[in-house]
Chain A
Amino acid sequence: MAMYDKKSVEDLDVAGKRVIVRVDFNVPLDKETGTKITDDKRIKGALPTIKYLVDNKAKVILVSHLGRPKNGPEAKFSMKPAADRLAELLGQPVTLAADVIGEDAKAKAAALKEGEVLMLENVRFHKEETKNDPKFAAELASMADLYVNDAFGTAHRAHASTAGLANFLPSACGYLIKKEIDFIGGALDNPARPFVAILGGAKVSDKIGVITNLLDKADTIIIGGGMAYTFIGAQGGKIGDSLFEADKVDLAKEILAKAEEKGVKLLLPTDTVVADAFLRQLSGMALQAFSSSRSSQLVQRLSLRQSLMQTAHRSSAAATPQLLSRSSAMLIRFLTSPQAAALLSSTSRVRFSPVSTASTTRRQAESLLQATGR
């Protein structure tokens, strides 16, 4: 499909040219010093494109964002850790400019020699970036002759450094984006069947277009995550205080009807984990859901009346009996409502002990995980 017929970096004539490359170096940093990268996967991901450009004698200017700086330059959002790590991985020096479109950046960009790499400071130091301001994009573009976008992670954002640059320079996508286009494009055009699509995420409204398109292509669609509650609610299921988009119920019903009409199996979770508070850190463990039908019935009744605030959630597709009974022992400990704990203890064979605070809960969960060797 020609919609996917996008130019790649190999289609550009890069020798001797200044190429500005949008990369996704939004890497997680450690909490103690804020300068150690805890996962450099994204930097490694950009290496093929950067290496290609270096090998083909381009003058490489990298632009990326890191975190969400609120008010201009801030040391804790500097690209320095990323620049240093890249230098290590590339095996050649990476200069870091002191600014993004300021004098230092422009001077350094102009002074680049073939095969050298310059990194601009965090592009989100300028509010104009996320607004896709044309003048800001023009400033960025002025430092280069060509533009390559290899930041798949931000490709959906129409920002100056992702979309704006293409309005000024001949552009192409890097290897990362090309891979995604080839893979997803291929999967959508000519999937191996049976083709199962698994969707997560919180909001139905964000995913409508995707779901509707997938209904024409997939054999089965599995919907999990916060979004599933709206579907379950639309079917008349009880979901307590979970995420629910009331104004999307009709839409959800429409999708369910369409799926049935097209013979697409639309699977929603059949059971759920209930907790007093939605603790992100716990959700990894919460995935080891409990679903003995008695306790889940109890919990469902509880959720209507008691102080249980939100439910964590998973699809039963991956549940197995052993996993469930082992993990139910773990999870049960983390109900924070004393009433819930008392009620469940009195009606099942497992001991429930209430926990007082969210942080206590998390620590207990972590130590328990360590103890059980998971």
Chain B
Amino acid sequence: MNCGIPADAVKLIEELKPLVKNAEHRIALGVPATALAAAVEAAAYTNIKIAAQNCHFEEKGAFTGEISPLWLAKMGVNYCIIGHSERREYNAETDETVNKKALALLKYGVRPIICCGESLAQREAGETFDWIKGQIVGAFKDIPADKLCQITIAYEPIWAIGTGKTATDEQAEEVCKFIRGVIAELYCPKCAEAITIQYGGSCNAKNAAGLFAQPDINGGLVGGASLKAEDFSIICNA
């Protein structure tokens, strides 16, 4: 929850623009809802896309306080992060609501970034893979294969978020590879190639290159390090 005041978001984008001008990766900035409009405008005609951090799964209706996926589409917001562990913990986000949100976003052409991840307790109890599989299968219910190219999966082990304790390259690769396998099972091996899988959780300027070099990690979902243009640009150019 940062840079929610439009001017702050715009400031970050303006600082970031020249630093990532020649980046090879696709870049998206996840912005709080209050700053979305200003961010979309500030990032227009650049290689920085804008992501919302949550949305509702209904297009319209009596849902005071919620954000319709159709609005995001009409505003030109390119992506929407759904199922972030913080929302799963504090806002009663379930696999079912994540799935409904994904379907709604795909309906209007907003690309979902679907988050999954296990807690420290689950990792220590050896439940990581079962847990992740449940999250993925739940999130992808009824999503057709031809939409996979529009979807990103972000693996964020909860014990690595905001703790400074990053997963090792091997740990991250292990789970991302597993996730790709789950997609291959649900759809087909070739389909699994189409989907982008990111790692998140204390991803920073120092560890980004190592993480991105892993065969099944296509990128990063960056939290704290994205608040400083300088640091984030190092990751973007990694």
- Enumerate chain A interface residues (CB-CB to B < 8 A): 1-3, 5, 132-135, 137-138, 141, 145, 158, 164, 167-170, 209
Instruction: With A138-B108, A170-B149 given, name 12 new contacts (CB 8 A).
Output: A1-B22, A1-B24, A2-B25, A134-B74, A134-B108, A134-B110, A141-B109, A158-B76, A167-B108, A167-B110, A167-B150, A209-B45
Task: Please give me the residue from chain B that is nearest to A165 by CB atom.
Answer: B109
Size of B's binding interface in residues, CB under 8 A: 20
Residues of A within 8 A of B74 (CB): 133-134
Task: Please give me the residue from chain B that is nearest to A156 by CB atom.
Answer: B45
When chains A and B are docked, how far (Å) is the Cα of A198 from the Cα of B70?
43
Min Cβ gap A200→B in Å is 20
When chains A and B are docked, how far (Å) is the Cα of A107 from the Cα of B45?
37
Q: Which 8 A-B pairs have the closest CB atoms?
A: A167-B109, A2-B24, A134-B73, A134-B108, A170-B149, A134-B109, A168-B109, A137-B109
Residues of B within 8 A of A164 (CB): 109
Q: Is the CB of B22 within 8 A of A3?
A: yes
Q: Is the CB of B108 within 8 A of A3?
A: no
B47 at interface, CB cutoff 8 A = yes
B111 at interface, CB cutoff 8 A = yes
When chains A and B are docked, how far (Å) is the Cα of A167 from the Cα of B79?
10
Q: Is the CB of B22 within 8 A of A138?
A: no
B107 at interface, CB cutoff 8 A = yes
Q: Is the CB of A167 within 8 A of B47?
A: no
Which of B24, B73, B76, B149 is in CB contact (< 8 Å) with A3? B24
Q: Is the CB of B149 within 8 A of A167?
A: no
When chains A and B are docked, how far (Å) is the Cα of A153 from the Cα of B167?
47
A-contact 0/1 string along B149-188, CB 8 Å cutoff: 1100000000000000000000000000000000000000
A-contact 0/1 string along B65-88, CB 8 Å cutoff: 000001001101010000000000
B146 at interface, CB cutoff 8 A = yes
Q: Is the CB of B76 within 8 A of A132?
A: yes
Min Cβ gap A315→B in Å is 28
When chains A and B are docked, how far (Å) is the Cα of A134 from the Cα of B25?
26
Residues of B within 8 A of A168 (CB): 109, 150
Q: Is the CB of A3 within 8 A of B47?
A: yes
Q: Is the CB of B70 within 8 A of A134?
A: yes
When chains A and B are docked, how far (Å) is the Cα of A357 from the Cα of B99?
69
When chains A and B are docked, how far (Å) is the Cα of A168 from the Cα of B147?
7
